[in-house]
Structure 1
Amino acid sequence: MHNMSNAGRGRAKRGAGVGSGRRERRQCSSRGQGAAVATLSAGRGVAVAALSAGRGLAVAALSAGRGVAVAALSAGRGLAVAALSAGRGAAVAALSLGRGLAVAAVSAGRGLAVAAVSAGRRLAVAAVSAGRGVAVAAVSTGRGVAVAAESADRRAVEVDHIEASANKIHN
């Protein structure tokens, strides 16, 4: 038994390598076994991103599942911080829509994430289709416009955005 525990310690020291690696391993273990398994599945990059954003993000990623971890990795550290600020709902919403929403959320900032959670999945789809401009507009006007956009048809939102862009170019 004693020899086995010594061998295990040796392996841990050799595997850890650089000092920062050891620190990352300790942080992961403090978040709980489930989060460690989730970060392991998604790869090393997502572990680094989770470490940068803090323990709350790791817990949120665990609740939403592996997909949201992969999405967070694609969009970079900014999305991770935004998802943490907005809470679990934003993480779940980002997971449903894929990478496009994640990138859009990063561009528009924290406000879009909060708005997307309030209005639900449809607003997120509409925001991705119409581009960054609609996302920024939704944030500026507040939750009311988000609810309105949700009840309106997706194509109508796209047409409005195209017309507004054309008017801007014409003027």
Structure 2
Amino acid sequence: MNVDCGICYDDYDSNEQIPCIGTCGHTICNRCRTSMTSSKCPHCNRKEAFAVKHVNKQLWDLIQFANFIFKKPEVQKENISSDAPRCSRCQEPSKKLRVCQDCCLKSGCVSKFRRESEDEEENVEEVCQRIRDQALCGDCIIDGDHFRHKTEYVDLFIDSYMSFLKNKC
């Protein structure tokens, strides 16, 4: 059984994705309800439909029953240590941070050309840190301005940029 929010299309769960019912009868997850700028229903535009949090208990019980019958465990976040690198946008720790190649070039974080006057040792560490400072988690890439940009894992991007620097010197 797959029951998801009609706004974000994520499955309901017992943490952020709790099914909340509006006074109009429509249901959305609590995360979408709290992130809305107004409390009107996103489906039918009824005013103040989601002003107060009301859990859709029938749907909640049905989901819990289906999870028990089909032995579907509650989805848990990956076990990520608190000292893991963090996304530059949402500040959440992530094992798989990516960097937007397009934005690194546009912002000047990395350059296509290397000037001869630059000090190689100092510049390399500085550039690596600037790249790491722009690292994003997958959710922020998809939900943000980088959705259709070319991205690559931070370490792979740094390695390829280091190769570029070595070949240019």
TM-score normalised by L of structure 1: 0.24
**Larger RCO (CA under 8 A, 6+ residues apart):** 2
Structure showing greater Rg: 2
Q: Which has the higher strand share?
A: 2
